[in-house]
Chain A
Amino acid sequence: MTMVSMMPPQVRIRRQTASGRIALALFVLAVIGLAAMPWWAKTGTIRMVLELCCYVAVAQMWNMLAGYAGLVSVGQQAFMGASGYALFVLAQTFGVNPFLAVFLSLLVPLVLAVPCYLLLHRLDGPYFAIGTWVVAEVFRLVASNLPLVNAGAGMSLSVMKDYSAFQRNIAMSLFCALLVLVSIGGSYWFLRSRFGLALIAMRDNPVAAASQGVNVRRLRFMIYVAAAVGCGLVGAVYFMAQLRINPPSAFDPMWSNIAIFIVMVGGIASIEGVLIGTLIYFIADRWFGEYGASYFVVLGVMTVLVALYARTGIWGMIAARWDAPWFPIRRHLVLERDKP
């Protein structure tokens, strides 16, 4: 006679891989290396790395919006500019410590994102995209006419003269590390959380996800607000390093173009794709930037070709050949053998 166990099988969930462990170790080293830049890099290098980190962060925010939440935005520069201006007003006009002001300025995109989303969420697909662009243009027009921010003339961050070059380098390096930690590390943590599985379900099929109990409306709202704050952090850090802000630069649609290029070419809905896409853009920008308009035409054509013939981007092609994710988010159910 055999006894059938009524106990459920012993299982554990494995969520890390060898490639993931290596990538995680490299990521931690990279963050430490970024924070320690004043001791190994020149000011010019730090500024260049800061720009690279801004691209990574803004592209990852767009990736979360478009790749996971299905919200294709071409107006994230609205929150970059709003946060940048908030930093300048707080530090320059009200005398707040500029490094503290970077964090305080994030309240502005946080607060502005709520009514913007309430307005935009009624729009679908291309109408949503156009709506986000219109919002960014409205922000630009407001900034161009607002005496508090010196209207169209823009503002300078002369209070930064109070700090030595080394102190500014330390701040920029720490902000570089923070940008990467928040955008890449934060996204990875979010995607591995309970929200992450729901988010991936929503990406695959929003109707089916809602039918499984996923609150698609709330999740989209959360992603939109989080992306607005993330882009706000990029704007505050970027313009603090630039020491100058005006409406055309603060609300420059080129930021959205760059994010779209990076994510589409690197691989949408993957963190690895953002890193690959950013490196390609950064190198292309350094090598071919001098060709101006022709260079942008080439980037645009590349994006269209990838969208037509390789929708998963470069990372998608790599992942199809080798199952070695850098940031694994899948869960593997491992059945434990009964112990004698």
Chain B
Amino acid sequence: MSGAILSTHGLVARYGDFQALYGIDFHIDAGEAVALIGANGAGKSTFLRAVMGLLPVAPDMVRMGGQPVGGTPADRMVQKGVAIVPEGRRLFSGMSVQDNLRVAVDQADRLGRKGGWSLARLHQLFPILKEKARTPVQSLSGGQQQMVSIGRALLCQPRVLLCDEISLGLAPRVIREIYAALPEVRAQGTSVVLVEQDVGLAQSASDRLYCMLEGRVTLTGPSGSVTRDAIGQAYFGGSHAVA
């Protein structure tokens, strides 16, 4: 954990009077993929929003390279090297594919973010984005929209990529296509936090996993060695810590 690129320490988040997260301790190393699993309402998306600076949290609760960054506004988090693929994709609906991507390119330039991702490189990863460059994003399929959303985040040149339910509502073939791109992302040294409801998918795509239930972490451990029984109990109730 000492080399963690991103970590949280007793992370607490609220929506008004409602407390959504109860003291989450989390860390991810450079180039690592970590999955966050849990049922609806477990607090997975809230965790990503809190890390990204979209929810108010105390500075010490989120650290990057040991430096407190909790509560830093989202645009400043991008500058620090965190990007998010939000749930529901949240594309800029009035724009074409290329304009959606250019927003990220422009902002990365403005913020001085350098990295290995360019439009040409992205077109190699998702060739359909080159074909559909001038197409309004609203007329793309769900999978293609998800590729735009991932591409947009990658063009921010992140050190940590937060992916919120990128398989949601997509056909299995499209999900495989999207997940096949993750090793390429990690090969760039980018750490990936995957929020995922499909446990099998999450296990196969990550090095470690955290299971959440009602705003608390109920299970952590290497993805390959956590048993389905342990996950089942942590997912629906009970507490298991796997070394």
Residues of chain A whose beta carbon lies under 8 Å from any beta carbon of chain B: 8-9, 11, 194, 197-198, 200-201, 203-205, 207-217, 269, 330-333
Contact = CB atoms under 8 A, between A and B. Distances in A.
Contact of A194 (B94, B110, B123, B134): B110
A198 B106 contact: yes
Contacts of B52: 211
B74 A8 contact: no
16 contacts: A8-B118, A9-B120, A9-B123, A197-B102, A198-B106, A200-B94, A204-B95, A210-B73, A211-B78, A211-B83, A211-B84, A213-B156, A330-B95, A332-B98, A333-B133, A333-B134
A212 B104 contact: yes
Interface string B85-114: 010001111111011001110111011010
Contact of B54 (A204, A210, A213): A210
A318 to B, nearest CB: 16
Contacts of B91: 204-205, 208
Contacts, number: 92
Given A217-B73, A331-B99, A333-B134, A208 B86 contact: yes
Nearest to A205: B90
Contacts of B133: 333
Given A212-B104, A212-B156, A205 B111 contact: no
B102 to A, nearest CB: 6
Interface residues of B, number: 37
A213 B93 contact: no
Contact of A212 (B94, B107, B118): B107
Given A194-B106, A212-B107, A333-B133, A204 B94 contact: yes
Given A205-B91, A212-B107, 15 more contacts: A8-B119, A11-B119, A194-B110, A197-B103, A201-B92, A204-B92, A204-B94, A208-B86, A209-B103, A212-B83, A213-B108, A216-B75, A332-B98, A332-B134, A333-B134
